[in-house]
A = this chain, B = another copy of it.
Amino acid sequence: MMGKIGVWLVGARGSVATTAIAGAAAMRAGLAARTGCVTELPDFAGADLPGLEDLVFAGHDVVDTPLVKRAEHLAAAGVLPSTLPAAVTAELEAAEARLRPAPAEGGRSAIDRIVADLTAFRAGLDHVVVVNVSSTEPPCAPHPAHESLAALEGALDTLPSSAQYAYAAFRAGCGFVDFTPSTGARLPALDELARTAGLPYAGRDGKTGETLLRSVLAPMFAQRALNVLSWSGTNLLGGGDGATLADPGAASSKNASKQQVLSRNLGREVDGEVHIDYVPALGDWKTAWDHVLFEGFLGTRMTLQLTWQGCDSALAAPLVLDLARLTGKACREGVAGPVAEFGFFFKDPAGDGPHDLASQYAALREWAHR
């Protein structure tokens, strides 16, 4: 299909993916406003991005609940409007037909399966962008084979699943986006592969709540010469992500990204812990409380507290669509390696870009129009 961009979702039956697919269908049908879609802002008009109507969804998942069922569950939980699933059933079923079971096996043979599925999907599409929205992995143990592409080829089994997807995406000629804190393409060997193959990648860990706030508030303290003494945070999450992050290993990936935003904006390490608690009754909702103790003129101590109450899927899904469109454009233009200008979307951006949201937005807008 001429001009079409394939969006291959890893975790395609999850809340974020389902919301993205259903939401794109709703917007195309004129049933929903484009709220939450950054690339629909006037600032991005004329940027020649792939259109929403150009996105074709497919993907892998380890579970097999049909997308229509998943959408109905999300509607019952108040995540999707109650009438939406019925209104976009046809589009959900069309995507359903393009989903494939995730490889159950690991290593080389899994990678081959992924490459084959991606290659088949690419046929007839302009470009394909692989977007990881599956569960967060524990941090990846360092391994010498991850340092160069040559070394990696003989040690593909050492890659965690998210990195296998990045490897397979580049081998199949696709762009790659990691919306989770997992490893993804963030290994020297995979960066080398992306650059060699002339393919773009972006990530990692979508910035949708506490860290989004930190990326505007930390610069504010810095620009006002206020001295942040501690920055503490507690996140209450239900849903799949909450259960995953209740595992201290997985949580440690996420917490590292969260505190990084502070140290990068404030120019030094800041005291304070970040907790992620699994509260099943919250479902797809999350609550973040942040407490900032800071020192002003003559050492006077003051505080800021924040409570953010958001719906994880509603916050993440439109950014997945934005990233698919932007990475689609990067594929078209032959961008190779990390797209630092996409740092606006991430807690721990790939490439060398600014860390405050305002500069990240300016960089993104400029990139889109260049």
Mark A residues whose CB is within 8 Å of B. Answer: 19, 23, 26, 32-38, 40-41, 76, 78-82, 84, 212-213, 216-217, 219-220, 222-227, 229-230, 232, 234, 236, 271-273, 275, 277, 279-282, 287, 289, 291, 293, 295-311, 314-315, 317-318, 344, 356-359, 361
- Chain B residues with CB below 8 A from A282, complex form: 230, 293
- Chain B residues with CB below 8 A from A272, complex form: 277, 279
Tell me whether A33 and B299 are in contact (CB under 8 A).
yes
Do A271 and B275 form a contact, CB below 8 Å, given A220-B212, A296-B310? no
Tell me whether B35 and A295 are in contact (CB under 8 A).
yes
Per assembly, the copies of the chain total: 4
- Chain B residues with CB below 8 A from A311, complex form: 296, 300, 302
Query: Binding site of A, secondary structure by majority: helix, strand, loop or mixed?
Result: mixed
Tell me whether B291 and A314 are in contact (CB under 8 A).
no
Within the complex, which residue of B216, B234, B296, B298 is in contact with A289, where a contact is CB–CB below 8 Å?
A: B234
Q: Count chain B CB atoms within 10 A of each CB in A217, A234, A311 and give the residue with the most.
A: A234
Tell me whether A26 and B298 are in contact (CB under 8 A).
yes
Do A361 and B234 form a contact, CB below 8 Å, given A277-B273, A291-B287, A308-B304? no
Tell me whether A35 and B296 are in contact (CB under 8 A).
yes
- Chain B residues with CB below 8 A from A223, complex form: 38, 41, 344, 357-358, 361
Tell me whether A291 and B289 are in contact (CB under 8 A).
yes
Extra pairs beyond A37-B297, A302-B315 (16, CB < 8 Å): A35-B297, A36-B225, A36-B226, A38-B223, A40-B225, A41-B225, A76-B82, A216-B216, A220-B357, A287-B303, A296-B315, A300-B311, A304-B307, A304-B309, A307-B307, A356-B358
